[in-house]
Amino acid sequence: MAIPKTKKYVFVGAVDAGKTSIFNALKGDFELARKTQAVDYNLAGGIDTPGEFFSHPHLYKAMISTTTEAEIIIYVHAADDEVCRLPRGILEIYNHKTIITVITKVDLPNIDLPKVRQILRECGLPEPYFEMNTQNPEDIARFRSYLESLGAVIE
């Protein structure tokens, strides 16, 4: 009997979007995340990338090469960021991969979630959008279940 292949997943998004907070929370670590300085891998196939990969065009090649082996691309967008920072044409590179969109920081005051959702739609990011507070274990558990349903293993 064949053992099902574990799907690798990678977090991408702008600086301070909440990628590392989700990456750590999926492992049960709800401590305040420190700034990611380099690519971080876990044993189960998860990859956390620095926001600079996403935010600076001269680092796009590094982002693309880091995400090549991942089957699941998780774009993380902060609810208080009303600018889609998705690099032009990046979704075409990943058209054969599963794209998941997560909106973080939904607990902040004065955010406009309908506006953020519209911005993400206009950037071509597929729904549904996972809206979460990365410090809320229920939000993380719901997201973990979804990732596992796609074949990802969370360590």
* CATH number, position 98: 3.40.50.300
Does residue 155 form part of some domain?
A: no
Does residue 2 form part of some domain?
A: no
pLDDT at 15 over 70: yes
pLDDT tens digits along 71-130: 999 999 999 999 998 877 777 887 889 999 999 999 999 999 999 999 999 999 989 999
Domain of residue 137 covers 9-148
The number of folded domains in the chain is 1
pTM of the model as a whole: 0.92
pLDDT at 1 over 60: no
**Percent of the chain as helix, strand, coil, to the nearest 5:** 30, 20, 50
Give residue 92's pLDDT: 80
pLDDT tens digits along 41-63: 888 889 999 988 888 888 888 88
Per-residue burial over 68-101, b if 16 or more Cβ lie within 10 Å, else e, is eebbbbbbbbbbbbeebbbbeebbeebeebbbbb
